[in-house]
Amino acid sequence: MLRAIRYFLREGWSSLWHNKGANLLSIAIIIVSLYVLGVFLVLSTNFNHIIERWSEDVQVNIFLDENLSEPALLYLQERLSILPEIGEFIYISKQEALQRFQILFPSLQTLPDEIGENPFPSSYELKIKKEYQTIDGVRGLASRLKSLDGVKEVSYDLQWIERLSTVMKLLRVIGIFLVGVLVFSAVSTTANVIKLLAYARKDEIDIMKLVGASSWFIKGPFLVEGMLQGFIAGIISIGLLYLSYRLVAYYLALSYNLLFGFLLFTFLPLEYWLGIIGGGTLVGLIGSSISIRKFLRY
C-alpha cells in the first residue's frame, strides 16, 4: 500500500514536471477561482467582525408616557427586570434628561426655558445581554417592549448594522454564484488537461492494462497529478491573497485612516487557509478522476 502511494506520488510529480505547460494552465485557473473565493471569505469574515463589534454596543431606549403614575412605573420596572434579554437598566427622569441635554449642548441651554416646559420624556436605558445582541434578538425585544403599558416609543440604533448585514447577504449570494462558476470552470479545465495528458499516454495506459495493472494502479498517478495541481494552486492563492490583503490594508490605511483601518483588521484564520488548500486539492482530484475514467475501460 505504502509502496503504491510512493509510486503514485513519484509518477504524479514527474508527470506534473514533464508537462509543465499544460499543468500551469490548469493551476492558473484553479488559482483564479480560489483567489476569488478567498476575497469573498476575507470580506465576509471582516464584515462579520464589524457587525459583532457594533452589536456589542447596542443600547435600547424606551421613552415613557407623560402622565405615568408611580404604581404604573413600578409595574413597568418589574416587567423589565424579568425580561431575559435585559442585563441592566437605568431610569432617566425628565429632569435628568434635561440636564444631560444641557451638558451635551451648552449653547442650547436656554432652549427649554424658551419653550416654557421640559420637552424631554422620562425613559429607561436598557443594556442588552451579549447572547441577545443580534439583530433579530433586538428587533424582537423592541416589539415586545412597545406593547408594554406606559411605553410611548422604543428606539435602538441598529440601522447601520441592518444595512451592513444586508450588504453581507448580497455579497454572500454574489460570492457563492461567482465561486460556483469559477470552481466549475476549474474542475473542467483540470479534467481537460488531465484528459489531454492521458490521451498523450494512451498507448502507455493500454500497455499497463495488458500487463495486468489494476485500474487503481493506472489512475493513481493521474489523480495525484490533479491533486498536486490543486494543492499548488491553493498555496499560491493563499500567498496572493495575503499579499493583496497587505497592499489594500496599507493603501486604505493611508487614505482613510480610521474607517478602513477598522474594516480590514483581520486576514483569514488558519482553518480557512487549510480549507482553501483542501478545496483546491479536491478540485484537482475531481477533475482528474472525471477525465481518467474513460481510459480505464476494458
Partner 1 sequence: MIQMFNVFKNYDPMSPALIDISLHIRKGEFVFVSGPSGAGKTTFLKLIYREELPTRGHILVNRRNIAKLPPSKIPYLRRSMGIVFQDFKLLNNKTIFDNVSFVLKILGVPIAITKKKVFNMLRMVDIHHKMKSFPPQLSGGEQQRVAIARALINDPALLLADEPTGNLDPELSMEIMRLFEEANQKGTTVVVATHNPALIGCISNKRVIMLDKGRIVKYY
Question: Which neighbouring-strand residues pair with 234?
Answer: none
Closer CB to partner 1, 136 or 203, in the complex? 203
Count of residues of this chain found to bind partner 1 when the rule CB under 8 A is applied: 18
CB 129 within 8 A of CB 87: yes
Query: Rounded distance, CA 95 to CA 226, Å?
Result: 74
H, E, C per residue of 109-160:
CCHHHHHCCCCCCCEEEEEECHHHCCHHHHHHHHHHHHCCCCEEEEEECCHH
40 belongs to the binding site for partner 1 (CB under 8 A): no
Least distance to partner 1, CB of residue 219, Å: 12
The single residue among 211, 255, 258, 270 that binds partner 1, judged by CB under 8 A, is: 211
214 belongs to the binding site for partner 1 (CB under 8 A): yes
Closer CB to partner 1, 114 or 203, in the complex? 203
The single residue among 3, 84, 115, 270 that binds partner 1, judged by CB under 8 A, is: 3
The single residue among 9, 68, 148, 208 that binds partner 1, judged by CB under 8 A, is: 208
Closer CB to partner 1, 211 or 270, in the complex? 211
The single residue among 22, 24, 97, 213 that binds partner 1, judged by CB under 8 A, is: 213
Closer CB to partner 1, 175 or 220, in the complex? 220
Identify which of 35, 33, 18, 42 has the alpha carbon closest to the alpha carbon of residue 239: 35
Binding mask 216-245 for partner 1 (x = CB under 8 A): -x----------------------------
The single residue among 79, 94, 172, 209 that binds partner 1, judged by CB under 8 A, is: 209
Q: What is the chain's alpha carbon radius of gyration, rounded to the nearest angstrom?
A: 31
The neighbour count for residue 96, using CB atoms within 10 Å, is 14
The single residue among 21, 66, 103, 298 that binds partner 1, judged by CB under 8 A, is: 298
130 belongs to the binding site for partner 1 (CB under 8 A): no
Please choose, out of 179-187, 201-209, 248-256, 284-292, the segment that lies near partner 1 by the rule CB under 8 A.
201-209
CB 118 within 8 A of CB 94: yes
Least distance to partner 1, CB of residue 211, Å: 5
CB 29 within 8 A of CB 188: no
DSSP string, 54-116: HHHT-EEEEEEPTT--HHHHHHHHHHHHH-TTEEEEEEE-HHHHHHHHHHH-GGGTTHHHHHT
Q: Which residues bind partner 1 (CB under 8 A)?
A: 3-4, 7, 203-204, 206-215, 217, 297-298
